[in-house]
Structure 1
Amino acid sequence: MTGPVDKGMVQRALSAHAAIGLLASALLYLVCLTGTIVVFYQEWQRIEQPAAPEMARIAPGAVQSAVAAVLATEEGKPATTHLYVHLPVPDLPRATITTDSQAVHVDQAGAIAGPEGNAWSEFLLAVHYRLNIPGLIGLILVGILGVMIVALSLSGVIAHPRIFRDAFRLRARDKEGVGLADWHNRLSVWSLPFALAIALTGAMIGLGTIGAYGLAASFYKGDVEAAYAPIFGGEGKPDARSAPLADVATPLAWIAATHPELRPTYIILHDPGTRGQHVQLLAEHPQRLIYGESYNFDANGRFLGAVGLADGHIGQQMAASTYNLHFGNFGGLPVKFAYFGLGLALTIVVATGTSIWLGKRARRGLHEPRLRSLWDAALWGVPLALALTFLARMLAGNDAPLTAIFWILTALILLAALLRPEPRPSRLLKRLSIAGLLAGLLAVLLG
């Protein structure tokens, strides 16, 4: 026989349950919103640093000179294990060299033009990719959120058998939230294929890391790079003895001569200046979703073979296609605008879904002004915090502590909403968000 039920305890448990759901919705909203904005990742870099030298192409000899010049500036520093050369592409027509300690732009002649300054673009990508949480935890959490989108999308279709038949039915807005529910359902239908594709690829990117670590622990004695090698290729055998700088110009000339239809996008120089160094050249394949094929060369520029991302087993090709499919890095600006519009629709679906849920709770007599206020703060506080981080980047420069600014501002907005739930903060935060966006636009125009 059980004792009497403590109604107060039940109410507190229900409130805690709702608060956990609100937190998951807020994180899902944040990932969707930042993913929508980061579709224009390359364009944001150009906005952040408009004075960086741009070019359609850079000559192989100029790339060789640039690599030598950058490594010469690192004498006396810890040795760079991987040097990356970003080659000019239509979306980002700049040449940039990144080492373990610096990232610089180079001009068309191969001379160093100055440090790279894309802190806000990188911050935005880090929020979307791992919520600024270092290590595996952030990737896993975002991967779980991707699984949640799949589950919510499929369960929403099952729960509304007329959802496709009513795909273009919109009822008037009313106090019961019928109009809001219609917009939620309609946008869910229109963006369903996109939502599933984005969620599945996001889950693969995030949770695939767990699989790689599991394989490494089971079959490769904990070596994660060895677990990835059958798909993306492996590292060469290291030899730290000093050697002349590897030839990176010949691989570029080889690609131009043997595969003129391909566009080189990256050069990776492994262990530069050592006897174990080798060159990896990544090239885009037209009309393919893969991010590119990796072509390997020795230190003298002799071709060693391709990894197989373009014509290897189906698993390799699927893995190489995941990133472009998720981020919309194919088809140029038309595809990016389509991804932006569909991403905005998915963000609205997440936002309205939680608002509908809170409305239903209120109609059942569960009046929780703090939960409603917190959701308003998340809904409009996140765009405000993002706008203010961009403004800080444009006014304070590339060294502004953007991650700290964003999370501290977000926490303060949520705390204020928790302590003072009435009146609801949505109207004030909307106005402040618009003001922040206009201030950021003004900073770009005047900068």
Structure 2
Amino acid sequence: MTLAVSKDAVQRALSAHAAIGLLASALLYLICLTGTVVVFYQEWQRIEQPAAPEMTAIAPDAVQRGVAAVLATEADKPGTTHLYVHMPVDGLPRATVITDHQAFHIGADGRIAAPEENAWSEFLLGAHYALNIPGLVGMTIVGIFGVMMLALSLSGVIAHPRIFRDAFRLRARDNHGVGLADWHNRLSVWTLPFGLAIALTGAMIGLGVVGAYGLAAAFYKNDLDAAYAPIFGEEHAQDARAAPLADVAAPLAYMAANHPGVRPTYVILHDPQTRGQHVQIIAAHPRRLIYGESYNFGADGAYHGKVGLSDGHMGQQLAASTYNLHFGNFGGLPVKIVYVLLGLALTVVVATGTSIWLGKRQRRGLHEPRLRAGWDGVIWGVPLALALTFLARLLLGNAAPLIAIFWTLTVAIPLLAMALPARRPKALLQYLLCGALVMALLSWFVV
């Protein structure tokens, strides 16, 4: 039996199929672009709030005073389950106390200096990490795109057997898409190791939580903490009865005396002001990819041992190295600059790949001006939306609805471009992007 389908119906189906492919490409492009920008996550925080107090180090007693001062402001709030103290580090030389309800910068003397106001930096991280979707769904989607990037990188090498031999062959003049294809292929080769590392670690981070839930269901009777314990250590038993604030200064003093070669980056106080409270110090190890080792202490400051992220089994060390390798948080500013340059190249590869695909469809007689206009709206609309959200943050303050602004613009710009495809919006969007960047820069100097 043959199903009779009209030519117009086939054309509409092909266009719908292409539109779905365009949506996937748009999300991949957004993930790559935001990932490139978020490499400077620490620097963006300093730009957002330049007046926050900065210091190269803070004394243990000052940290204790800061923790006590912040908790004293929460007498009328539900109890905090995890309190974090961000310690001064080279990239972000600030001390910040973060609870379940609020965050404050503290001075070198431990006094509260100002509320933390880094809404744009957090929005940017959330956009890359989970597309600003709360819960498990967003991270899972981004993890799937990591797998997609990995497959695209490997299949691209297999599909072009001369790709390495022609690594420096570049026909810049466009001839039916040849120049664009050369840029795509050359940048793909030059960024291949970086792209594979980013795709693999992104997939591991995004899908790691899903894997943990699966392990918990299969082997740990749905106990997620038990599934994480072999890698990140066990959670202590909770005891919600009230107790004096734990000694945070003593663990920091212990680290300075007994582990002078490592640098504490975070102090984590679990279940503060309860009998079950305990202190965990995350300390960075020099010349290591791991984000840090976890050192555990009791409420009285007694040392209880470390988790083993620095010298435990290979799985622990690999898991602890994933984040720094993905975000470029090692080697200081030079490594970050390299990551940004490679990230931009990877973003261009994604953008040109879709442009080449649309060009091939057009040469086969599939004229789809709406899709091409929509892709222009994605390529230039996403950075325009990022620039305008940053401008909104500067003009409206930390409470600006950044997620709503960004996603409204990110969706609306391509849709408007597709609705008015007669004149491709590329040049207009480029002018608007330049104008938004100039306005953001001027506003930062003024505000």
Considering the TM-score relative to the shorter chain, is it more than 0.5? Answer: yes
* Distance in 1 (alpha carbons) for counterparts of 2:301 and 2:289: 28
Secondary structure of the residue aligned to 1:183 is: helix
Q: 1:101-120 counterparts in 2 under 5 A? A: 101-120=101-120
Map Cα deviations across residues 18-73 of structure 1 (whole Å, 9 max, x no partner).
11110000000000000000000000000000000000000000000111111011
Aligned residue pairs total: 447
* Distance in 1 (alpha carbons) for counterparts of 2:223 and 2:390: 39
Map Cα deviations across residues 400-441 of structure 1 (whole Å, 9 max, x no partner).
000000011122212211211110011100110111111111
Conservation of the 8 A alpha-carbon contact between 2:55 and 2:94: yes
Partner of 2:250: 250
* Distance in 2 (alpha carbons) for counterparts of 1:231 and 1:387: 39
Partner of 1:224: 224
CA spacing shift, 1:421–1:273, aligned 2, 3 Å: same
Secondary structure of the residue aligned to 2:304 is: strand
Partner of 1:142: 142
Partner of 2:2: 2
Q: 1:61-100 counterparts in 2 under 5 A? A: 61-100=61-100
Secondary structure of the residue aligned to 1:282 is: strand
* Distance in 1 (alpha carbons) for counterparts of 2:162 and 2:316: 39
Q: 1:398-437 counterparts in 2 under 5 A? A: 398-437=398-437
Map Cα deviations across residues 304-327 of structure 1 (whole Å, 9 max, x no partner).
010010011100000000000000
Secondary structure of the residue aligned to 1:241 is: coil
Secondary structure of the residue aligned to 2:88 is: coil
* Distance in 2 (alpha carbons) for counterparts of 1:445 and 1:334: 26
Partner of 2:326: 326
Q: Which one-letter code corresponds to 1:335 in the other structure?
A: V
Q: Which one-letter code corresponds to 2:263 in the other structure?
A: R
Map Cα deviations across residues 76-129 of structure 1 (whole Å, 9 max, x no partner).
210011100000000000000000100000000000001000000000000000
Q: Do residues 48 (structure 1) and 48 (structure 2) align?
A: yes
Partner of 1:124: 124
Partner of 1:350: 350
What is the TM-score of this pair, normalised by structure 2? 0.99
Shift of 1:3: 4.5
Q: Tell me which stretches of 4 or more aligned residues in structure 1 moved more than 6 Å.
A: none
Secondary structure of the residue aligned to 2:83 is: strand
Conservation of the 8 A alpha-carbon contact between 2:95 and 2:107: yes
Aligned-pair identity in percent equals 74
Shift of 1:445: 1.9
* Distance in 2 (alpha carbons) for counterparts of 1:359 and 1:415: 20
Shift of 1:172: 3.3
* Distance in 2 (alpha carbons) for counterparts of 1:410 and 1:4: 39
Shift of 1:5: 4.1
What is the TM-score of this pair, normalised by structure 1? 0.99
Partner of 2:359: 359
* Distance in 1 (alpha carbons) for counterparts of 2:5 and 2:399: 56
Structure 1, unaligned runs of 5 or more? none
The Cα RMSD (Å) is 0.9
Map Cα deviations across residues 213-251 of structure 1 (whole Å, 9 max, x no partner).
011112222221221111111211111111111000011
Partner of 2:60: 60
Partner of 2:31: 31
Shift of 1:175: 4.1
